[in-house]
Structure 1
Amino acid sequence: MAKVSIKEVAKQARVSAATVSRALSTPKLVNDKTLTRVLKAVKDTGYKPNRFGASLRTQKSGNVVVVMPDITNQVNAGIIRAIENEAMQAGYSVLLGDTQNIEARESHYGDMVTSGQADGILVFTPRIPFPVDENRQAFHDLPPLVNSCEEIPDDNINKVLIDNKAGAMAAVNHLISLGHKRIAAIKGPSFTPSTESRLVGYKEALNDAGIVIDDRYIITGDYGTDSGVVAMEKLLRLKNRPTAVFCFSDDMAIGAMNTLREYDFKIPEDISIMGFDDISYAKLMSPTLTTIKQPLEDIGRESMRMLLALMKGEQTTCKSITLPFELVIRQSTGPVPTS
């Protein structure tokens, strides 16, 4: 006989999986009408609570889940290190989920929280990784959860973010200050909120400077190095090629720089390159990469601290933190070419 999942119980009871978990672990936090519905669904489906979940009344699992779209990305690696440091100091182990932006994988790691195998979750993707009651009114209806980097569009979720739009505007304004008008953008995938915010910032900076936006100068990448290579090749084929390129990640900027070197273009004498993130390789490139620095360690540290406060019941209202970014000027950007 197939094992019944908590999602099936939630569907039959017309509530979220988190509400089912709460009804079974701390029923006093669930109203009588909902509790009755959940218990009936449990009985009708024959659901057997996970052994970890059954013990939630008396003890915690000692685990937290971190949901990342790509753990090999240098940006995420820096964040993960800070998360693990904070978690270990608090006596928690980190269960790392590399989801590759696949929703089924995200849900799998979300189930670890609702079934009691973990006490909280850090989400670095733009989706809540478990079913949510559409009538949910407050963040109290969710298990301990903190969202970061790729923003989930929900005001009832705790978040640690940077201002991607403002960061992009700072990047483009730096290029404009050097005299550039033909400024291209190599953007990330359109489904990521960070890409959309940076694209808004890119366009707004150009508009504010009275520079007409040329859609031929906007190329889609995937935040990876190879996509920077391909995108730069497309830009070089344009009749009026750009004099500066703003890459929405340092990895794509590194790929773009490699393409320019392959075709014997000088950086920044022929074309300036601007990145975003300030990964460790940025200052090791030749020339060194001008970029927008994300406070990666602070993102990991503050996200974990917020999650710890939620799990301990010390934070009783929804909270959002916006961390500062920094424009780091190095050698890859320079004045617009005179010819």
Structure 2
Amino acid sequence: MAKTSIKEVAKQAGVSAATVSRALSSPELVSDKTLTRVLAAVSDTGYKPNRFGASLRTQKSGNVVVVMPDITNQVNAGIIRAIENEAMQAGYSVLLGDTQNIQARESHYGDMVSSGQADGILVFTPRIPFPTDEDQQPINDLPPLVNSCEEIPNDTIHKVMIDNRAGAIAAVEHLLSLGHTRIAAVKGPALTPSTESRLLGYKEALTQAGIKVDEKYIITGDYGTDSGVIAMEKLLRLRDRPTAVFCFSDDMAIGAMNTLREYDFRIPEDISVMGFDDIRYAKLMSPTLTTIKQPLTEIGKESMKMLLAQMKGESVANKRITLPFELVVRQSTGPVPS
């Protein structure tokens, strides 16, 4: 006989899975009407809460879930280390979910929180990993949750971000200051919030400089090294090659630089290359990579601190923390070729 899931109880009661979890673990936090509906649904469906049943109503799991689209990415690796350091100091263990941007996997890790296997969740993807009736679901109907890097379009959710649009503007303005006007962009995956914000900044900086945005200079990548290789090969086949390339991640910039070396182009004498992130390999490249530095340690630390405050039931005055980025000028960018 198949085991009843918390989602089935939620459907029967007409509430969210998070509300079912809250009703069973902290009944004093829900209304009498809601509690009655949930308990009736539990009885009707035969649902058995996992993790030692009723004992969970007064105990915490000591775990937090971190949902990442790709844990092998150097940006995410730096954030994860900071999260774990902060969590361990507070007595929590980290359950890491590598979702590969698959929504079903995100929901699986969300279920771990709903069922009491974890006390809160850090989400680095642009979707709420719980069933929702509408995009603007109130925050008090969700378990402790903090969103970072890829922004969920919900203003009620606690967030730790950088200003991706402003970072892209700074990157392009640096290249403009060196005399470049044919500036290509190798963007990240389509429809991801970080890609859209950086693309907006790229276009805005060019427009403000009186330069028409040319779509042939915009190539779609996936934030990975291989897509940087492919994108640069496409750009080199253009009749009017760009004199500078702004890659929306350092991994793509590294791939682009490898392609340029393969075809005997000099960096930056022939083509300048700009990255975004400042992963540790950026300063080890030859030439070293000019980039926009994300404060990866601070992103992980502040995200975990905000989640801990929620799990303690503390009021968080500032639901959105915007951390500063930094333009790091190294050897891969130079004056436009004469």
TM (norm. structure 2) is: 0.97
SS in 2 for 1:172: helix
> 2:289 and 2:167 mapped to 1: Cα distance?
16
Q: How does 1:26-41 map to 2 (within 5 A)?
A: 26-41=26-41
Q: Name the structure 1 match of 2:20.
A: 20
Verify: 1:59 aligned to 2:72, yes or no. Answer: no
Verify: 1:11 aligned to 2:20, yes or no. Answer: no
Consecutive unaligned residues in structure 1, runs of 5 or more: none
Amino acid at match of 2:23: A
> 1:299 and 1:156 mapped to 2: Cα distance?
19
Q: Name the structure 2 match of 1:213.
A: 213
Q: Percent identity?
A: 85
1:133 deviation in Å?
Answer: 4.3
> 1:104 and 1:135 mapped to 2: Cα distance?
18
Q: How does 1:280-319 map to 2 (within 5 A)?
A: 280-315=280-315, 319=319
Q: Name the structure 1 match of 2:246.
A: 246
Q: How does 1:254-269 map to 2 (within 5 A)?
A: 254-269=254-269
Checking the alignment, whether the CA contact within 8 Å between 1:64 and 1:94 is kept in structure 2 is yes
* Residue correspondences, number: 338
Q: How does 1:265-284 map to 2 (within 5 A)?
A: 265-284=265-284
Q: Which moved more, 1:36-45 or 1:321-330?
A: 36-45
Q: Which moved more, 1:31-40 or 1:267-276?
A: 31-40
Checking the alignment, whether the CA contact within 8 Å between 2:185 and 2:245 is kept in structure 1 is yes
1:30 deviation in Å?
Answer: 1.2
- String of CA shifts for 1:220-256, please: whole Å, max 9, x gaps: 0000000000000000000101000000000000000
Q: Name the structure 2 match of 1:93.
A: 93
Q: How does 1:99-114 map to 2 (within 5 A)?
A: 99-114=99-114
Amino acid at match of 1:173: E
Q: Name the structure 2 match of 1:68.
A: 68
Amino acid at match of 1:126: P
- String of CA shifts for 1:48-76, please: whole Å, max 9, x gaps: 11125633332211111100000000000
Amino acid at match of 2:210: G
Q: How does 1:195-206 map to 2 (within 5 A)?
A: 195-206=195-206
- String of CA shifts for 1:158-193, please: whole Å, max 9, x gaps: 000000000000000000011110000000001210
> 1:126 and 1:53 mapped to 2: Cα distance?
32
Checking the alignment, whether the CA contact within 8 Å between 1:124 and 1:149 is kept in structure 2 is yes
> 1:135 and 1:276 mapped to 2: Cα distance?
30
1:135 deviation in Å?
Answer: 9.3
SS in 1 for 2:321: strand
1:33 deviation in Å?
Answer: 2.3
RMSD of equivalent CA atoms: 1.3
TM (norm. structure 1) is: 0.97
Q: Name the structure 1 match of 2:123.
A: 123
Q: Name the structure 2 match of 1:229.
A: 229
Consecutive unaligned residues in structure 2, runs of 5 or more: none
SS in 1 for 2:146: strand
1:155 deviation in Å?
Answer: 0.8
1:15 deviation in Å?
Answer: 1.2
Amino acid at match of 1:4: T
Checking the alignment, whether the CA contact within 8 Å between 1:53 and 1:115 is kept in structure 2 is no
> 1:136 and 1:184 mapped to 2: Cα distance?
36
> 1:189 and 1:134 mapped to 2: Cα distance?
25
1:10 deviation in Å?
Answer: 1.1
Q: Which moved more, 1:131-140 or 1:319-328?
A: 131-140
Checking the alignment, whether the CA contact within 8 Å between 2:273 and 2:333 is kept in structure 1 is yes
